[in-house]
Amino acid sequence: MNTDKFSAIAHRDHDYCNPVAAAKIERILDLMPLDAHSRVLDLGCGRAELALRIVERFGSTIVAVERSPFMLDAARERAEWTGALAKLHLDDRDIRAFRADPETFHLSVMLGAGGIDGGMAGICRTLKGWTKPGGYVLVGEGYWKQKPSGDYLAVLGGGDAGQLHDHRGNVQAGIDAGLVPLHAVVASDDEWDEYEWKYARAIERYAGEQPDDPDVPAMLERVRRWRDAYLRWGRDTLGFGVYLFWRPGGRVAP
């Protein structure tokens, strides 16, 4: 089963590929004085929802990095439809292979995409290095509401899950990287339910639409196992936050 294909189908009805409501993301955008001269980096852009909103609101130029051809096709189609393609450079590569000159961007973003080692601390250090003094770093990352059970960690498959902090720890990771925290939002239980059920429903619907797709049995097994894990452990254990930091220097933070 192609995991990029699975993720693209599972997220096809979401605004963002994470559980935080779009209105909360808009609130964070209110706090950043971007304009048409600003340069933005969006790592793991998905279908480029955030990038397109930034272009619409501020007219900024955006480098959007995404490895999934399914997500990139959707991002390109949406950018063409909205007229934003001239402001949006879509970079077809894995985040691990991306490099930028130091202090290049006014805003560097990574909302929940994997690919930078070291968890929240590694993400903050890396994005800080690519962000201009006086610029902003926006990170979406999971956190533990409570200590996870071994059974839940087994379903998650280890990896990045083993590096998660609690909510306060995510903020502290930014501080330890030399960033100043300005705002944070977390997904509510209702937002998690909306995200998870929409995620599972998209796969179930695809299975009904494309019953001859040889990937369907594996897709259904995966999404049903994930749904059970969410109901059994995840809803009470795993959180997700979006964190806005300022890199000291340059203009004064709001």
pLDDT score, position 160: 67
Neighbours of 119 (CB within 10 A): 19
Share of the chain above pLDDT 90, in %: 84
Residue-wise pLDDT tens digits, 95-131: 989 999 999 999 999 998 788 889 999 999 999 999 9
34 versus 160: which is more confidently predicted?
A: 34
Tokens of 11: 């997220």
Model confidence, pTM: 0.94
Which amino acid appears at position 95 of this protein?
Answer: I
pLDDT score, position 252: 53
Q: Binning pLDDT at 50, 70 and 90, where does residue 159 land?
A: low
pLDDT score, position 55: 96
96 versus 239: which is more confidently predicted?
A: 239
Task: Tell me the CATH number for domain 20-187+239-246.
Answer: 3.40.50.150
Domain ranges of the chain: 20-187+239-246
Number of residues written out for the chain: 254
Kindly provide the residue ranges of all beta strands, DSSP E only, lying in the chain, ordered along the sequence: 39-43, 61-66, 88-92, 105-111, 131-144, 180-186, 238-246
Residue 27 contacts by C-beta under 8 Å, 6 or more apart in sequence? 183, 185
For the chain, what is the mean pLDDT? Answer: 93
Residue-wise pLDDT tens digits, 54-81: 999 999 999 999 999 999 999 999 999 8
Q: Binning pLDDT at 50, 70 and 90, where does residue 132 land?
A: very high
Residue 203 contacts by C-beta under 8 Å, 6 or more apart in sequence? 6, 9, 10, 219, 220, 222, 223
Residue 63 contacts by C-beta under 8 Å, 6 or more apart in sequence? 39, 40, 41, 42, 89, 91, 100, 105
